[in-house]
Amino acid sequence: MASGRVLFYVQHLLGIGHLKRAATVVRALQDAGLEVTLVSGGPPVPGLEVGNARLVQLDPVRAGDLYFKVLLDASGQTVDDEFRRRRRDRLLAIFRELRPNIVVTELFPFGRRQLRSELLPLIEAAWAMQPRPALVSSVRDILVQPPKPERVTEMVDLADRWYDLVLVHGDPTLIPFEHTFPLADRLKGRIRYTGYVVDPPPANAGAAGRGEVIVSAGGGAVSEPLLAAALEARAMTRLADAPWRLLAGPSLDDDAVARLRAAAPAGVTIERARPDFTTLLANCTLSISQGGYNTVMEVLATRCRAVVVPYAGGLETEQTLRARLLAGRGALTVVDESALSPATLAAAVEAALSGPRPDAAGLDTGGAAATARMLAALASSRTGTTA
């Protein structure tokens, strides 16, 4: 078994998908014998499961707008230069204390440009340290097109100059990285596909969620329209008499949850997101959700029938593109967010129930274990131990 120290940096700004995926990878890294420190820069998420990893919370920031141009602190104030300096100094102190063999930055340099004030000093510190830790970028399968074309050149220049590996958590048979990052060829030899990172359902799922319709939206920051439409759509479907369970993510405010509960008829349960989400999916009759990476992959892993309404606010194109590709393989049914209404959602429910039960669409879903194997081998080359 390998040994080595990993500093894993992750920043979520709107949803919680980046953090949840990082946590899944972190648990796999520990299974491979690596010592992991997970540094999170977004708002804390209750119940985050990171195994025995050390979890360090930086002063949290979140997006103040759908375009991620404004960053807010925990009190809702726009972050200033002094706030950024404190975060940078804290991150560098963690790095110097840990002296890792590997530094992983989730998404950066292919995103999170707003945090370069702390990430570039971290990278420079890593390159100055002897022996130098390996620099690894952990990135999902699909990138959002930046608003300025020169940003793509900036991304590839940073990756080419500083990074040893780029781990793409996807399967090129669904979508190759160069489809949304056209300069990927410049990093040829450093890009490794891991397969999709999936939190698998438990071997013994129990009874939770059996026969239910599960309506979810990950962190839930922009989920109220979907949850409200689901409440009205229920009566229009053949599942009008089935129990429906709406899961409000931690980022959906209490007032929105109260409005949903006031509108909910008998037979509908509304509660906050649960740690046994994959169990609910494994047992449910149907899943209705937004199209975040984690939720969609868990839907595929549990083989439940699914309706997906991809989030498309701001500049977001990632969820829509992935959902349409999977719909083309018969893995799920899609309703475009711009067309969302109780009637369109009900029609999609009927379509999903009428088709065959989907499978994983032939995709590689072993991304967590593959990432652990790759980083364990990399750590061994840095520490002289045997994987």
pLDDT by position in tens, the chain (length 387): 567 999 999 999 988 899 999 999 999 999 999 999 999 999 999 889 999 999 999 999 999 877 678 999 999 999 999 999 999 999 999 999 999 999 999 999 999 999 999 999 999 999 999 999 999 999 999 998 887 889 999 999 999 999 999 999 999 999 999 999 999 999 989 999 999 999 877 777 678 989 999 999 887 778 899 999 999 999 999 999 999 999 998 888 899 999 999 999 999 999 998 888 999 999 999 999 999 999 999 999 899 999 999 998 877 889 999 999 999 999 999 999 999 999 999 999 999 999 888 876 689 999 999 999 999 999 988 764 433
Residues 253 and 162 in one domain: no
Say what the pLDDT of residue 385 is.
42
Residues 148 and 227 in one domain: no
Residues 263 and 159 in one domain: no
68's tokens: 């991620």
Say what the pLDDT of residue 94 is.
98
Neighbours of 53 (CB within 10 A): 19
Inside any domain, residue 361: no
3-state helix, strand, coil in the chain (%, to 5): 40, 15, 45
Residues 296 and 254 in one domain: yes
Residues 175 and 238 in one domain: no
Instruction: Give which of 87, 165, 142 is closest to 119, Cα–Cα.
Output: 87
* Nearby residues of 89 by Cβ (< 8 Å), 6 or more positions away: none
Neighbours of 196 (CB within 10 A): 26
Residues 187 and 272 in one domain: no
Range of the domain at 142: 5-197+366-383
Inside any domain, residue 204: no
CATH number at residue 106: 3.40.50.2000
Rg for the chain, CA atoms, rounded? 21
Residues 20 and 142 in one domain: yes
Q: Please state the pTM of the whole predicted model.
A: 0.92
User: How many domains would you assign to the chain?
Assistant: 2
Inside any domain, residue 205: no
Residues 138 and 267 in one domain: no
Residues 219 and 333 in one domain: yes
Inside any domain, residue 314: yes
Neighbours of 186 (CB within 10 A): 14
Residues 116 and 225 in one domain: no
Inside any domain, residue 208: no
Residues 285 and 177 in one domain: no
Residues 106 and 66 in one domain: yes
